[in-house]
């Protein structure tokens, strides 16, 4: 799993779960000489959070510029003393849209629902991490799980790390301006103005609410529509739009094996039951659906024909499709895609339970349809707000 893959001049290492990811992240932060940028949706003040915070503090103590961008909703429960402990040692911390109210749907409040869901880090502009792993304990606290969340990240060393650096620096400066702070240019730093190389076999794709609203979605749709043998998608919160759903169904109907690994543990009931409402059409088209039961599934990855792969923060749900800032790597490489496919097949064979829709009772079907209808209504409200 920790094998390095050479792709388009970059060294890629696929990291499964926090048990592997966090030691590698902290080791690279401890080796930083100039700068560390970190973006995360959730930063928890648990054992893992303290481990990463300690590495960040030590880097700042050495004179390294350390900047942490937290989402104001996902990390809202982070204690003030924890943040003060970071800032005391020189770690710069900013919030992406701190305030949010669930009681009003005004235009300004709708904008605040646009979250920063990316999970990225870059060290010295030379080593980067892109994936779906938040900064929190791998095994959920107070739950009777023996296995960690199933999740992935990619460590990148090479030219693409500079592109990640540029993207993170740009968002940091945008948030700084939004907070009416003076833009700071670091003396002596290399300025990254790298344009995405669309002809490369490894690409960083970002989703925002301006120019890149559908970049990640289009990459998925293009790969799935062009599949010849097999599509494997593992996604934590699966509630695709009509186009995505139609593409999966048509791909399965033309004889391609389409496999979905979805959440088996009920984490968010509304979304869970809404997803169940889609099972019938998918199963009727020949799509194989497996639910992951060893722990929570948090992965947002896919492999097509054992050659195309993506790893990142992008869920196939309305939150990621319509609102959130996301980041995914797309890799066209047999060895890398093969490593991810092997990991997913192991998870499916060992901990996946194949779904038979006929087993659902009448009450579950009614609840599923009601949940799906409610979420479609919410999506409609979001759409009206965006148009206005």
> Active-site residue numbers?
117, 119, 124, 298, 300, 305
Asked if 125 contacts 105 with a C-beta cutoff of 8 angstroms, the reply is no
H or E element that contains 26: helix 18-30
CA distance 77 to 44: 8
How many other CB atoms sit within 10 Å of the CB of residue 322?
Answer: 17
CA distance 152 to 297: 10
Helix, strand or coil, per DSSP, at residue 353:
strand
Strands 230-235 and 300-304, how do they pair?
antiparallel
Backbone angles phi, psi at 269, to 5 degrees: -60, -45
- Our CA angle for 105, 106, 110, nearest 5°, is 70
Q: What is the 3-state secondary structure (H, E, C) of 124-178?
A: CCCEEEEECCCECCCCCCCCCCCCCCECEEEEEECHHHHHHHHHHHHHHHHHHHH
CA distance 186 to 133: 29
CA distance 205 to 37: 18
H or E element that contains 259: strand 257-263
């Amino acid at each position: 799993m920790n094998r390095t893959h050479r792709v388009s001049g970059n060294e890629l290492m696929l990291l499964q779960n926090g048990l592997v990811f966090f030691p590698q992240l902290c080791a690279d932060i401890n080796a930083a000489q100039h700068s560390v940028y970190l973006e995360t949706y959730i930063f928890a003040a648990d054992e893992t959070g303290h481990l990463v915070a300690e590495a960040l503090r030590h880097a700042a103590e050495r004179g390294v510029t350390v900047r942490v961008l937290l989402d104001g909703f996902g990390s809202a429960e982070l204690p003030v003393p924890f943040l003060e402990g970071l800032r005391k040692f020189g770690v710069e911390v900013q919030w992406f849209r701190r305030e949010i109210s669930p009681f009003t749907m005004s235009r300004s409040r709708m904008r605040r629902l646009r979250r920063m869901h990316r999970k990225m880090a870059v060290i010295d502009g030379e080593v980067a991490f892109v994936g779906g792993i938040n900064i929190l304990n791998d095994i959920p606290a107070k739950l009777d799980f023996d296995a960690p969340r199933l999740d992935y990240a990619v460590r990148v060393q090479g030219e693409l790390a500079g592109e990640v650096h540029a993207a993170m620096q740009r968002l940091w400066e945008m948030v700084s301006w939004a907070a009416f702070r003076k833009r700071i240019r670091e003396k002596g730093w290399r300025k990254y103005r790298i344009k995405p190389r669309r002809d490369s076999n490894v690409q960083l794709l970002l989703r925002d609410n301006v120019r890149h609203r559908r970049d990640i979605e289009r990459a998925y749709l293009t790969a799935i529509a062009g599949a010849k043998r097999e599509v494997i998608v593992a996604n934590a919160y699966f509630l695709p739009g009509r186009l995505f759903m139609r593409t999966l169904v048509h791909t399965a109907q033309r004889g391609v094996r389409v496999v979905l690994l979805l959440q088996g543990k009920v984490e968010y009931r509304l979304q869970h039951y809404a997803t169940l409402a889609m099972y019938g059409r998918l199963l009727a088209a020949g799509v194989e659906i497996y639910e992951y039961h060893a722990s929570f599934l948090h992965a947002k990855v896919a492999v097509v024909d054992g050659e195309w792969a993506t790893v990142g923060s992008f869920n196939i749900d309305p939150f990621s499709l319509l609102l959130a800032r996301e980041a995914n790597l797309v890799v066209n490489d047999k060895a890398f895609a093969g490593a991810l496919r092997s990991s997913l097949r192991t998870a499916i064979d060992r901990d996946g339970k194949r779904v038979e829709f006929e087993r659902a009772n009448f009450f579950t079907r009614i609840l599923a349809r009601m949940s799906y209808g409610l979420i479609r209504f919410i999506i409609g409200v979001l759409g009206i707000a965006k148009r206005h």
